[in-house]
Structure 1
Amino acid sequence: MLRTTRPAARLGSQRLLPLYRLPPPVPARPSLSGIRNQLARRTYATEQAPPSSSTWFRRARTVARYGFYLAGSTIVGSILLTSAVFLHDAFTYSERNIEGVPIAPRALSPKHGGPKNLPIVSRLLSDMEDEENRQLAEKPHLVIVGGGWGAVGVIDKLNPGDYHVTIVSPETYTTFTPLLPSAAVGTVSVRSLVEPLRKIVARLRGHLINARAVDLVMSERLLEVETIVPGGGPGTHMYIPYDKLIIAVGSTSSTYGVPGLEHCYQLKTISDAQAIRKRIIDNFEAASLPTTSPEERKRLLSFVVCGGGPTGVETAAEIYDLCQEDIFNYFPKICGKDVSIHVIQSREHILNTYSEAISKYAEKKFMHDKIDLVTLARVSAVQPDKVIYTKRNEDGKVETHEIPTNFVLWSTGIAMNPFTQRVSDQLPNQVHKKAIEVDAHLRVKGAPLGEVYAIGDASTIETSVVSYLLDLVDESDKNKDGKIDFEEWEIMVARIKKRIPMAEDQLQKVRELFDLYDSDSDNSLNLNELAVLLQEVGNKITALPATAQVASQQGKYLGKKLSKIAAGRGVLEANGVGPEGADDAVAQPFRYTHLGSLAYIGNAAVFDLGRFSFMGGLAAMYAWRSVYWSEQVSMRTRALLMIDWVCR
């Protein structure tokens, strides 16, 4: 019989208990302080324990791997960039077949005519090069005289193919004039401020004639020009026919009859900036010679700026920066000690067209920089070795003062360009002494409507309202009684705002004006009362300033309007609207929007934004640079300008 139970094992007198798999004991949960202590001990041990050789090996291998990747990427990138440059050069510098290019016979042998029997250039050399040029040659001929802000603004807004465009300019490039003071002392290079006009007008497949406008024959629509001869000398005179003409020749500096201005510098062109820079450096070199006397050294290092406007103030500030940043490093210290900068201003404050706060800030900055400000003074003469000016003393007597100097910058207002003066002399009722008077559509007054325009410094928009008195009365006098009641006066105000938009600010209080000039209190205005009212309104209108901002806005406005006229030419002709009425049909009168004025005053800048003014040091200077950088004509000039500022 089998035993079904297993006897208990015995070890000696003790009975062996069966073995069971018991669960491991659950450790007690450590407290937060214990965890922190453990982590602290582990961290301490890690920091104290030196890395093993295997750890160093892994680190070195990682550094080597990433270094290899970086070096390989650099080499591959350099190879790709070099290959791209070679490929660009290989496809760019290739021979082109220019044999058999067609040329219009009239371009090679133009016919003669006009009042002076001069060659009439009705076709240019490139008008027949391809089919597109041949089509453009049959479009209306738009001639732009000048290559500044206004002209570039027109070109920028014109649509390609609308006009046969020709630019007439004595310079082959356009200049960013606000930075000319910086170019005059070398803060920026000259090439950073210029852009070829041929490159700008190439978008329109237009042409450039390097010539100077001389005269205008409006009856035959002929522009007389004189070509520029390399090396100087008289050029060839010829006529350029036009369908539409835009005068954008700018202005010259006003002399005010002061003798000796041939000894002064102006700052309007690249040539002026280069000449000024050469004179400044030559003065310092001469002052550095051991044989130069102390009196002569002070005269050589005396810089006089006549005019306290933006150009004069910025030039004085740039000269001060030049002396502070470069002269002390490269010239004897005695030269820096003897430098003196003088600004002569006829008004009470410099930058008088800016807000009062900005003028005072600029004056305080100049006083801190020890720039001599001579206000309420007038220059009476300029001699080769000194400037003579007059100023009233505290007793009211006029005293004469002298400043020994070898450098004088003349920057005191504007005057008519010779061509502008010639055009103004031909026109009736052109009484303005500084520019050609134009209407609100920028059409030259007295010239055939829709044919001749003027923009920029060469023009000034009419402010006289009384000249339209009879037309306004005829349009507004509904009952034809020869008097204007209040309802008719409201109609007249609307007509005035349409003809002369700049009069809007003076016509805000319509009822008060009507009651003020209704002298006989009959609730109507007769012709005499209207004449006095309109005369007063016209006298209070302020003409637009002669700035680059105004010229640019006028150019862009005119470019857009001419494009609209070209696009709607068929519709206008179908409705019987001729060139004289096309401007009114497609566009509203020009309205200027003031975007603010700014000026550099030596490692600081000021902004006049109308109701808001901003002035300061480094931050304002960088804001000033940002504005000018954004206004550049092309990306090329933006890149070069940025490089110049970085190098500075």
Structure 2
Amino acid sequence: MSIEREKLERLIKKRPYALFLAEKVAEIVEDTVEGLFKSKSNNDNEAASSSSSPSDGQREKVVVLGTGWGAAAFLKGIDTRLYDVTIISPRNYFVFTPMLAGASVGTVDYRSITEPIREINRDARFLESLATDVDEVGKTLTCESVVCDGNSCEINEFSIPYDRLVVTIGAQTNTFGIPGVREHCNFLKQIEDARRIRTAIVNCFERANLPGLSDEERINILTFAVIGAGPTGIEFAAELRDFVEEDGPKYYPTLLKYVRIKVIEASSTILAPFDKSLQEEAITQMNRNVEFKDISIYRLLPERFKLVELLLDSSVKEVTAKTILLNDGNTINYGLSVWAAGNGPLPLTLQIVDKLGDEQSSEQNVARGRIVTDAWMRAKGSNGSILAFGDCSCTTEGPDGPLPATGQVAAQQGEYLAKLMNKGYDLSPTINTNGGIVTLPPTPKPEYQSTVSESIANFSTRTGEYAKPFQFLNLGILAYTGGGSALAQVPTGPNAEPIKGTGKIGNALWKSVYISKQVSWRNRFMVVNDWVRRQIFGRDITRL
């Protein structure tokens, strides 16, 4: 085995947990100190800074695809004095996706959980368009922008060159080829989805309120089917239940007896990422008796009324405009269906995978349509010119191996890559071997001085010649289960029992984390304002 291969294998091993935590703490301190002095340094040394920074023609052209979790973290960190950054996305804002379930029933407003991408990095150029083709040899990107004026729309196509292409476009909903899902189910990945669902919920109640309908017809209209019992599906069902219990008596008291929320899950449990005890707690919360502040509502309900029903070990075979056919032969009539059952690659992701050749195709049994990267976010087969992270990518080597498709992972990856680039690491160093040219891990500039956090990483890996690979720090998972209760699971170390929170304590953790993770103080203020407004006035059912 060559010396370089030995170093590489040592480098991509998981760093010891205690040292890794020390490394992350040192990083936080370094970032804090840098942030405190950055503004003063920029003001006092503006002229010197401009003269020492590369000119526009010398700066490396970095094109970022996407405005999601990974892109937002990358854009917050990347130094635009060193790089000429252009953002390409059909969406000109970041959305706090964990709160889409709340937005879909009016718990929070749509604008409270969005932030203009230009606010995240004002020095980067943003082009509202869709990337349609990548020329990885010529390093150019083809884009389409749709400009609409009234009822007519015009498609404009243009090309943009790049030195580095950062792909963080996320994923689309995976329908697994089940007939009728894309045509008849609502998804919950974008603001438009939440707005559509919110309108559809009110439509169902207004339709059921019309005269001349039988009880069976009203039950069918007011049956809400949620397919998928992961965090998205459970949180939406919980938010919908809150809407029925808290606002239903005020607006639709005579219709509440017809409402049914059915959560359909192919596996034998819900919230698969959570510990078994928390899964059981979530099942208990979802199965709890209906709760209304107005006790007169109970007299209108049938005996043994059950608002939420969990249908486990139930996979969907087909969806039509009004029914869901299960594999066991049972049929569910519904008024609104929400599909929350998995992710799949976007067309551009598949195109990039195809163009990068054998280094991508040989690992698609694990990647499943995603861009295969090494532990430094470099797409295999691109020689470092294409960098990918988040839901559109899959790391098949390195300290963690394939990681879950979550915003937490994407955000940490984006932050890591921005730091790597800011420090001037060569992302595509090569070495000639008897087997041909091999791409090595990123190497630092000769004059670069390691930070404390990097020194700890170098000690862990026993090599300081290359950049440390990305290693994920799991900060925990959260899920709202309705009625002011939530689940929280925070890991404490390898093979150690995690810290768990349920009920009101879990809800306090859930709220505090969601507030702290908002990308701006504006968002934090607006979300808290929405929560207070809901407590005082309830949710708004106006259809605009």
What TM-score bracket applies, with the shorter chain setting the length? Answer: 0.7 to 0.9
The whole-number CA distance in structure 2 between the counterparts of 1:582 and 1:441 is: 7
Q: CA deviation at 1:314?
A: 0.3
Unmatched segments (≥5 aa) in structure 2? 1-49, 290-305, 431-436, 445-465, 492-496, 535-544
- Corresponding residue number in structure 2 for 1:565: 424
The whole-number CA distance in structure 1 between the counterparts of 2:337 and 2:157 is: 35
Aligned length: 425
2:488·2:502 contact (CA, 8 Å) conserved in 1?
no
- Corresponding residue number in structure 1 for 2:223: 302
* Higher percent of residues as helix: 1
Residue in structure 2 matching 1:143, options 22, 39, 63: 63
User: 1:601 is paired with a residue of what secondary structure?
Assistant: strand
Q: In structure 1, what residue type is equivalent to 2:442? A: D
1:429 aligns with 2:359: yes
Q: Percent identity?
A: 35
- Corresponding residue number in structure 1 for 2:212: 291
1:599·1:606 contact (CA, 8 Å) conserved in 2?
yes
- Corresponding residue number in structure 2 for 1:195: 115
Q: In structure 2, what residue type is equivalent to 1:225? A: C
Residue in structure 2 matching 1:206, options 97, 115, 124: 124
1:590 aligns with 2:470: yes
User: 1:167 is paired with a residue of what secondary structure?
Assistant: strand
Q: CA deviation at 1:134?
A: 10
User: 1:626 is paired with a residue of what secondary structure?
Assistant: helix
Unmatched segments (≥5 aa) in structure 1? 1-129, 391-398, 464-499, 503-540
- Corresponding residue number in structure 2 for 1:454: 388
2:168·2:390 contact (CA, 8 Å) conserved in 1?
yes
Larger Rg belongs to: 1
User: 1:380 is paired with a residue of what secondary structure?
Assistant: strand
1:180 aligns with 2:96: no
1:271 aligns with 2:271: no
2:376·2:441 contact (CA, 8 Å) conserved in 1?
no
Q: In structure 2, what residue type is equivalent to 1:212? A: L
- Corresponding residue number in structure 2 for 1:240: 160
- Corresponding residue number in structure 1 for 2:511: 625
Q: CA deviation at 1:191?
A: 0.8
1:443 aligns with 2:378: yes
1:544·1:550 contact (CA, 8 Å) conserved in 2?
yes
1:414·1:434 contact (CA, 8 Å) conserved in 2?
no
User: 2:225 is paired with a residue of what secondary structure?
Assistant: strand
1:451·1:579 contact (CA, 8 Å) conserved in 2?
no
User: 1:556 is paired with a residue of what secondary structure?
Assistant: helix
Change (3 A) 1:303 1:137: farther
Change (3 A) 1:263 1:131: farther
Report which structure shows greater RCO (CA 8 Å, sep ≥6).
2
Change (3 A) 1:461 1:328: same
Residue-by-residue CA offset, 1:40-94 (whole Å, 9 max, x unaligned): xxxxxxxxxxxxxxxxxxxxxxxxxxxxxxxxxxxxxxxxxxxxxxxxxxxxxxx
Q: In structure 1, what residue type is equivalent to 2:375? A: A
The whole-number CA distance in structure 2 between the counterparts of 1:400 and 1:340 is: 20
1:260·1:381 contact (CA, 8 Å) conserved in 2?
yes
TM score, norm. by length of structure 2: 0.75
The whole-number CA distance in structure 2 between the counterparts of 1:272 and 1:132 is: 47
Q: CA deviation at 1:580?
A: 5.8
- Corresponding residue number in structure 1 for 2:133: 215
1:138·1:164 contact (CA, 8 Å) conserved in 2?
no
1:417 aligns with 2:417: no
Q: CA deviation at 1:616?
A: 2.3
Q: In structure 1, what residue type is equivalent to 2:379? A: V
Q: CA deviation at 1:265?
A: 0.4
1:172·1:196 contact (CA, 8 Å) conserved in 2?
yes
Residue-by-residue CA offset, 1:481-523 (whole Å, 9 max, x unaligned): xxxxxxxxxxxxxxxxxxx223xxxxxxxxxxxxxxxxxxxxx
TM score, norm. by length of structure 1: 0.63
- Corresponding residue number in structure 2 for 1:9: none
Q: In structure 1, what residue type is equivalent to 2:477? A: S
- Corresponding residue number in structure 2 for 1:389: 326
The whole-number CA distance in structure 1 between the counterparts of 2:90 and 2:152 is: 12
- Corresponding residue number in structure 1 for 2:86: 166
1:609 aligns with 2:538: no
1:549 aligns with 2:408: yes
1:143·1:166 contact (CA, 8 Å) conserved in 2?
yes
2:349·2:369 contact (CA, 8 Å) conserved in 1?
no
Q: In structure 2, what residue type is equivalent to 1:263? A: H
Change (3 A) 1:400 1:584: farther
Return structure 1 stretches of 4+ with deviation > 6 angstroms: 130-134
Q: In structure 2, what residue type is equivalent to 1:624? A: W
User: 1:377 is paired with a residue of what secondary structure?
Assistant: coil
The whole-number CA distance in structure 2 between the counterparts of 1:462 and 1:147 is: 24
